[in-house]
Amino acid sequence: MTAPAPTAVPVLDPVKTGPFRFRRVAGKLLVTNDLGRHQLLDEKQFHDFVTGGLKEGDPVYEKLKTDGFIRDQMDFDAIAAVWAKRNKFLWQGPTLHVIVTTLRCNHRCLYCHASALGMADETTDMTEETARKVVDRVFESPSSAITIEFQGGEPLANWPVVKFIVEYATEKNKTAGKSLWLNLVTNLSMMDAEKMDWLLERGVNFCTSIDGPAEVHDKNRPWSSGASHAEATKWFKVIDKKTRNKMFRIDALLTVTRLSLGKPVEIVDEYERIGARGVFLRPLNPYGMAVATWNKIGYTHQEFLAFYEKALDRVLELNRKRPASKPFFEQTARLYLAKIMTDDDPNYLDLRSPCGAGIGQMAYNFDGSVFTCDEGRMLNRMGDDTFLIGKAGEGTYAESAGHPVVRALAVASNLDNQIECSKCAYKPYCGICPVQCYKEQGDITGRMPTNSRCKISMGVLDLLFDRLQDKKNEKIFRSWLKVRKGDNEKAAALYQRG
């Protein structure tokens, strides 16, 4: 998609026109405010809005008034309530706690962000003693909702400690009374019926990687013991069947590499074929093995956006053939749309301002070292301890949460402090990852005009607002945001990492 043309702003009426930001999208002017409310206006409507020429009774005027764009018609109590609801995460404390039970893995993924080790090296297996200290630290978080996410390596390579953490956290929560969600991120190749049944009995949610059809997946995620795609999809279908009507279940995502770019339709169709609820299209991140293999698997932001547009349109096409009660979503779009179309922020940590590092999530390495986030832990594997903020069993939770690094990241990721972000129409829907900025640009503050993540985010949002102009698409998008009764807390936990 081409960059929007600049638009000259008419002389603003400071009495009638409230705070807004604007951007040209698909031939119209998108106006937004800090409540996340938006309107797509044509040239005349935009001119009349800015100059105070809209008249009461005009449907555009009434919608803008309701959404807080008309200065002399603002309901400040209502505005404050909406803002507080959208930003309630600011008072929660860390909800996501990533625990690395081992760095061993039996796959050698081309883009491995974790810099995993071979199966023979057991030096990075978390001990039960360390696991106990980590879980104790997790429960010091003041948040009423806690998600423990098992990461690696392949977590199942240290199965005894995974079991211990599930049992110990569940037992502690009988006293703590928190909303506890356990999420296992696994390649599924070490799964068996006994492990599966044990995990299902305890309500553990599963997340795996499926990079599309076998010809893409097996190249991205080689496994010396066989075909990784066949094993992953086999267990995905088994677990999906067993959890179809439960609040805990299995989901999958993919990391887009250069091998994916020519197969957007095939990838989406593969996710529908295996019975997934949707597909999550994620770009490469500059960590771990992805740095060394970038020339082989990397791409420009323009190439990713071209791929994403074709894949999203295929998702929309499939939805038109399905009953509205059984939508098939794209998760990146779904997260943005939750922020665009509702006042219930999904608390996805990569789209928060300030970001989630240290105040929304913490990551615990196999040795108990505590990092601001999983990305900070990944940089540690690359020899950089910048985002290390403590160790479980040493010091206190408050010392980690109030660490100078956490404070610096909160300031750096506050969009009001970013010159480009503060005036961007997409500010209400976006967020900065200071760790990614640091890795890509050498500064946690980042430089948004040349930041690859910013360019991808803006491109995706341009595409969504373009597609939203079609009422049929809008209906499909709204179907993606419906949550089963009783699923709200569980859905919020899943949203944190996608």
CA distance 193 to 316: 36
What average pLDDT score do residues 443-451 get? Answer: 92
How far is it between the farthest Cα atoms of the chain? 73
pLDDT on residue 116: 87
CB 144 within 8 A of CB 120: no
pLDDT on residue 483: 57
Q: Which amino acid is at 10?
A: P
Please say if the pLDDT value at position 148 is more than 50: yes
Please say if the pLDDT value at position 497 is more than 60: no
CB 122 within 8 A of CB 378: no
In 3D, which of 284, 253, 263 has the Cα closest to residue 213? 263
Question: Residue 245 CA to chain centroid, in angstroms?
Answer: 24
CB 82 within 8 A of CB 26: no
Please say if the pLDDT value at position 174 is more than 60: yes
CB 29 within 8 A of CB 42: yes
Please say if the pLDDT value at position 304 is more than 70: yes
pTM here is 0.93
Burial of 120 (0-12, 13-18, 19+ CB in 10 A): exposed
Range 92-498 classified under CATH 3.40.50.2300 = no
CA distance 475 to 480: 9
For CATH 3.20.20.70, list the domain ranges present in the chain: 92-498
What average pLDDT score do residues 214-240 get? Answer: 95
Please say if the pLDDT value at position 165 is more than 80: yes
